[in-house]
Structure 1
Amino acid sequence: MKIKTFILACLLTPFMAFANYEKPVTWSYSTKSVSDSEIELILTATIEKGWHLYSQYQNGMALPLVITLEPNSNYQIVGTSKYFTEPKYTEHYNADFDDTERFLVGKADFKRTLRIVGNSDFELKGNIEGQACIEGRCVPLSEHFMLNVKGNPNATPQQPHGTTVTKTEIDTVPPVEKTETTTLTTTNTEKAEMSLWLFFLLAFGGGLLGILTPCVFPMIPMTISYFMKHGGKKQAIFYGFSIVFIYVLIGIVLSAIFGQGFANFISTHWLPNLLFAFIFIIFAISLFGYFEISLPSSWINKSSSNESRAGYIGTFFMALTLVLVSFSCTLPIAGAVALGAAGGGFLKPIIGMLGFSLAFALPFTFFAFFPNLLNKLPKSGGWMNTLKVCLAFVELAFALKFISVPDQAYHWGLLDREVYLSLWIVIFSLLGFYLLGKIRFPLDDEQPVQKSWFKFFLVIANFSFVVYMIPGLWGAPLNALSGWLPPMSTQDFNIKEIVYDGAGHEKPVGLCDHASFSDRLQMVTGLNGYFDYDEALACAKSSGKPLFLDFTGHGCVNCRRIEQEVLSNSRIQKLLNDKFVVCALYIDDKIIELPEKLQIKDNKGNLISKLGIKNTYIQNTLFQENSQPCYIVVNPEDESILSGPIFYETNVDVFEEFLKKGVENK
């Protein structure tokens, strides 16, 4: 009986070892003759239901599909494109990371035409790397393929050209037929819709501010008076519709410029970010009153000359004239909406201009129906210029955000966190002093500052915001501004670290020794740990603590969500820092070379010298997992699992129980 049990266990072991190993994409390979000298290589991906495979043209955080062919003197690639021909991809706007993802579902054929230039038969070899995801986790893909190809007896052997099909860098997306934007799950759809609704409301608020500027507000009673005498309510409705039409038309043009393929360019490249920062600064100076941004007078005169035309045509040109005349006041606001929409896909600029124009057109239509309410409007005066100057300070602060993006991406070191905060503190302090009447600008009235309860509470709110930011100079997290500030890792002066070092500690809590690659990889803020499995395992053994493994990735969107929602929680961080040795293992890192002491050999005796490959091998072979995010608590003595694995879990209480179970089982 024992022998039978032993034999059965031996037979089942290989299946048990890979029971959790997910392979959501299976590949098949074939060739098809195109002509006497050319063949078409076809790589077919079959994707499991619910999963999606990222396209070769993926530009955002997720890893793109990369297909490479091994060089061989027997073939040449036809064409100069880096990419295989692929089917129509689906696009999905990820609101959490302001990123447009491109992916494939179901079944997909990737094709490439090759010219056979060798007489003899040969083996065509290549590699496929990429990422497949389902709600909650992602799986890295790595596939090697080989096909036997017959030689061309009529060919004259020659040197091949351009045998490398793709590289890891991503060019601007070439023209590819696109499908309608769809969503992965109901949850993602709701988040994307919420993001667009929020942007619409912000743009609507911008339109309301535009109404209150000196170029527009005095026009309301004059325009309504005209409609009451000549056109009536129908003309007023068409007037408002014309304003909306003009701005939405601008939004459509912006969509063509800021649409697909532009998001990643904006999020990473220095040129558009510095250009946008410059535009915001110019807008701010204009709103301060030092100069006026205006359109050529010939444009305004041409539009005004058509206002006298009868009927709806004349009304349309009245609306166009308003848009042109108010340009100097509304451009900084409408421009901020347009720049805020840049890189957000096709819909975002249109939705932004729709929200702005609806609010902008609202009073001209509303008061045509209720003209008696015009008497309730405040009189024009210096308060309108005060509003412009306040907007100028805000736009000046926003300009720093666009400078900060390339500063981080290119490691310029110009806007560290405390420098950024210092500038914001100064900007909003000056705004507060302006509201108190201590600072004057060219277009401000010479009369004493008018006192009002609204301005009083605005001053309180403004200086409260300034006081809130001040502790950030010493390393306070300022969670409410986390999306606007540079990361904490750029903070040169952090009082928490100084106090800790002053207490006589030489190493951060949770570390036994220096963590390799800590200068190139980042742990979640507030956590201390390692980036190499062997270093973390050695520390866990010496300290007697369980080992917490975080299998993550640079391109893992769900990993970022867990980091923001769970691993940054104070309860979770205290538990991890006090009771565990933490190790973050980046699966998709393709750059970092391991020093000789950290290199290992796989089960075939091949040397593993890159960090990402080592981490992938450890996850696959030791824990029979291959998806991210993946969290496991390990006993350092025998490398057995104490708790987990746990994957995409955003409930802090559940995650805390998972950690406590690991401590108890130790």
Structure 2
Amino acid sequence: MRKYFALIALFLTFIGNAQILNPVQWKTKVIQKSANEFELVLDATIQHEWHMFSQFTPDGGSLPTLFEYKNQKGNYQLVGKTTESKYKKIYNDIFEVDEYMFENSAQFKQVIKVTNTNLKEIKVYVEYQVCKEQCIQQDETFTFKLPEIKPEAIEATTTPNPTLLDTVSNTTEVYQTTKTEKTQEVPVKKIKREEKKTDKWNLFLITLLAGILVTFTPCVFPMIPMTVSFFLKQSAKGDKTKGRMNALMYGFFIIAIYVLISLPFHIFQSLSPDIFYEISTNVYLNIFFFVIFVIFAISFLGAFEITIPSSLANKVDSASNYGGFIGIFFMALTLIIVSFSCTGPALGLVIGSVLSTDGGATLLTIAMLGFGFGLALPFMLFALFPSMMGNLPKSGGWLNTVKVVFGFIELALAFKFLSMADLVMDWHLLERETFIAIWIAIFGGLALYLFGKITLPHDSPMSNISVGRLLLGLLSLAFTVYLIPGLWGAPLNVISGFPPPMSYSESPYGVGNSKGGTSTTEALPEHAHYGPHDIVAFHDYQHGLDYAKKVGKPVLIDFTGVTCVNCRRMEELVWAKPEILKLLKEEVVLVSLYVDDKKELPKDQQYVSPVTGKEITTYGKKWSDFGISRYQANVQPYYVLMGHDEENLNTPVGYTPDVTEYKKWLEEGIGSFKK
């Protein structure tokens, strides 16, 4: 009987320590669309509280889902891109980016056109990351079986069946393969994640304010009394209702025209659902926006004016002589065209800022609605309540001041687009310190301008500055001073998300400080490098173990990943604590194994895993396979304290945000080693 109890205990111990998780279950099917066109469908069922990431999740965050279509050359062609079901956008405060993720389920579709009648199957390799409090790097290869394809089907020109995927009544044949591996849930501590949603009302209010501010520019402000007087004359003729109605219609047409500008983007989005993502991550488009914003900014600063051809403006103006609503519509269009030199840069700022996000055409329409309403509001308000006209300030040099302030702000925002391109391409031309230095120069220059120390073309001579200008100058100066510590590593939470992250900098420790305020003359061991908080670390298991034997310390294996959120949380919130950092620097040898390292293994070191049967071709796959084979663990972070005999000193742990608990675990393992 004791034997049976021992076997049961051994089995339960194995279950308790095993960490082989497979939170995503896949089902695949083929839908025949025409004689030689097929739709490959992959349905992922994701366990509760776990999430995997979209193909389009931005760079700098977690690992996106990747698809590789094998045996493609000479056999079939991809028709369009791989599409996917709707994802959620959640802000990651560690990586400081919005991440696109799936919860509970996800579906991916790819249409292919077969060109080889002898093709019997298609293999699709999928690589993805799935996370909870821990993350898992996973990859699968799916085989899609195809029916017999007649040679004449390749030659014939066919039209794909427009039937939706979910409606399979017109489908020729459907084949299914299912993976149903049993998964094991491991209890982990729950950490709250906050979803950063784009608030439509906030966007509307911000663009509304932008539209109102644009009216206080030299191109728009003088037109308010001229336009209002036109509608007042109609009211003076005895038809006050008609005059007010026309004033309201004038404002309505201004709003409608701006909303109409956004409508083509709805068409673009319907043709390509990923267009806004492509815009936000496309290097050339980001550089294009940067150049356009710089040109607009220089225009606002007074170097030149951007105008629409006068012939077009004259034609539109002449059309405003038509009576009724048609004439009012062309009056509104005339205002928009004539004032373009002032509203154009602001409008470009609105469009560019929204297009550089994943907000979609709906958010762009909301932004244009807010901007148009803000521009139209003063015209409608003063036409309805003409007595308020007396409260308007008189035109003067302050109008140009407003325009110049816009120019400085637009110039600062232009560098956000250049930064996006630089991050995507990893050029390191505009690292964090450089970006902040540019902003310091821009807003410092704005402060000097507002204080009257710098003058620009079209500025009126002034013997003193107004109270409003003084207050705005002080605000700009305060913001400039606030930015300066960012050069030395301050987080600058007020502008979080605008400058590049701390990891993308000339020195992660701040300008002029290479080791976080400490100095060391000790040479690094061979094959070692400085890890988080200057902890001496190894990226190779054997090198780390050899060094540990040499210095007589235990080994701390850190299964981690570049895109692992909670790995960074542990490093920033737990490892940074003095009591933990002291143990990591003095009592153990850290071996950090990155399971998402894409660097290819030398050909003679590549192999097929005897445990998973997968091809191991990169260092990341090697360390992932090592964790699965040795420790039955495929999660990150995952920590193992090991002696020189490669036996565990205590029970490995995963994500442990409690500093006291993690310290106790470290001291337990170190104590076992010293015994």
**TM-score, scaled relative to structure 1:** 0.76
Q: Does 1:234 align with 2:235?
A: no
Match of 2:477 in 1: 463
Cα deviation for residue 356 of structure 1 reads 1.4
227-236 vs 15-24, which moves further = 15-24
Q: Which whole-Å deviations, capped at 9, do the CAs of 1:476-523 have from their partners, x for residues lacking one? A: 55454453334444316733326857x33346xxx765546x8xxxx6
1:504 counterpart residue number: 520
Q: Indicate if the aligned counterparts of 2:606 and 2:615 stay in contact, CA closer than 8 A.
A: no
User: 1:353 — aligned with what?
Assistant: 368
Answering whether residue 289 of structure 2 is matched by residue 276 of structure 1, we say: yes
TM-superposed deviation, 1:208: 2.2
Which stretch of structure 1 is more off in the superposition, 295-304 or 219-228? 219-228
1:282 deviates by 0.9
- Rounded Cα–Cα distance in structure 1 between residues aligned with 2:136 and 2:579: 28
How many Å apart are 1:529 and its aligned residue? 4.6
Residues in 2 aligned to 1:361 and 1:64: alpha-carbon distance in whole angstroms: 45
Aligned partner letter, 2:204: F
CA distance in 2, matches of 1:286, 1:660: 59
Letter in 2 for 1:464: A
1:222 is aligned to: 226
- Structure 1 residues 591, 149: CA separation in 2 closer, same or farther (over 3 Å shift)? same
- Which residue in the other structure is 1:454 paired with? 468
Check conservation: 2:559, 2:639, Cα contact below 8 A: no
Q: State how far apart, in whole Å, the 1-side matches of 2:382 and 2:110 are.
A: 60
Identify the match of residue 614 of structure 1 among 622, 625, 634. Answer: 622
Give me the CA root mean square deviation: 4.6
Structure 1 letter corresponding to 2:260? L
Deviations 1:367-392 (A, max 9, x none): 33433222222222111101111111
Which residue does 2:180 correspond to in 1?
A: none
CA contact (8 A) 1:228 1:368 kept: yes
Deviations 1:264-308 (A, max 9, x none): 444444321221111111111111112111111222222222333
Could you report, residue by residue, the CA deviation over 1:374-433 in whole angstroms, capped at 9, with x for unpaired residues? 222222211110111111122222222222333343344433444333333322222222
Alignment of 1:244-393 (within 5 A): 244-256=255-267, 260-343=273-356, 344=358, 345-393=360-408
Answer with 361-370 or 573-582: which moved more.
Answer: 573-582
CA–CA distance in structure 1, aligned partners of residues 305 and 31 of structure 2: 65
SS in 1 for 2:653: strand
Cα deviation 1:29-51 (Å, max 9, x = unaligned): 7899998xx89796764524656
Taking the aligned partners of 2:362 and 2:592, their CA distance within structure 1 comes to: 37
Percent of residue pairs identical: 30
Specify the SS of the correspondent of 2:597: coil
Paired with 2:339 and 2:552, the residues of 1 have a C-alpha distance of: 69
Larger mean Cα displacement after TM superposition, 306-315 or 345-354: 306-315
Q: Partner letter of residue 207 of structure 1?
A: G
Q: Please, which of 124, 127, 131 is the counterpart of residue 128 of structure 2?
A: 131
Residues 313 and 148 of structure 1: CA distance in aligned 2, closer, same or farther (over 3 Å): closer
1:192 equivalent in structure 2: 197
Aligned to 1:167: none
Query: CA separation in 1, counterparts of 2:295 and 2:37?
Result: 57
Deviation at 1:338, TM superposition (A): 0.6
Task: Letter of the 1:359 partner, please give it.
Answer: G
Q: 1:149 to 1:11 in 2, by over 3 A?
A: farther
Distance in 2, matches of 1:201 and 1:526, equals: 46
8 A Cα contact 1:248 1:350, kept in partner = yes
2:523 equivalent to 1:495 = no
Residue equivalent to 2:637: 631
Counterpart AA for 2:558? L
Distance between the aligned counterparts of 2:570 and 2:207, measured in 1? 32
Question: Are 1:404 and 2:419 an aligned pair?
Answer: yes
Q: Secondary structure at the match of 2:123?
A: strand
Contact map agreement 1:475 1:495 (CA 8 A) in 2: no
| Cα distance change of structure 1 residues 419 and 16 upon mapping to structure 2, 3 Å threshold | closer
- 2:666 corresponding residue in structure 1: 663
**Secondary structure of the residue that 1:495 maps to in structure 2?**
coil
Q: Return 5+ residue gaps in structure 1 as ranges.
A: 161-174, 180-186, 648-653
TM-score by length of 2: 0.75
- CA displacement 1:120-142 (0-9 Å, x = unmatched): xx995835323264766654432
Distance 2:571 2:430 in 1: 26
Counterpart amino acid of residue 5 in structure 2: T
Q: Aligned partners of 2:350 and 2:46: how far apart in 1? A: 40
Q: In the superposition, relative to structure 1, how do residues 606 and 353 fare at CA in structure 2: closer, same or farther (>3 Å)?
A: closer
1:602–1:92 distance in 2 versus 1, CA, 3 Å: same
The CA distance in 2 between the partners of 1:448 and 1:512, in whole Å, is 66
Letter in 2 for 1:442: P
Q: Equivalences for 1:26-41 in 2 at 5 Å? A: 26-27=26-27
Offset at residue 325 of structure 1 (A): 1.4
Deviates more, 1:273-282 or 1:233-242: 233-242
List alignment gaps of at least 5 residues for structure 2: 155-161, 167-191, 235-241, 670-675
What is the alpha-carbon distance in structure 2 between the residues aligned to residue 339 and residue 147 of structure 1? 42
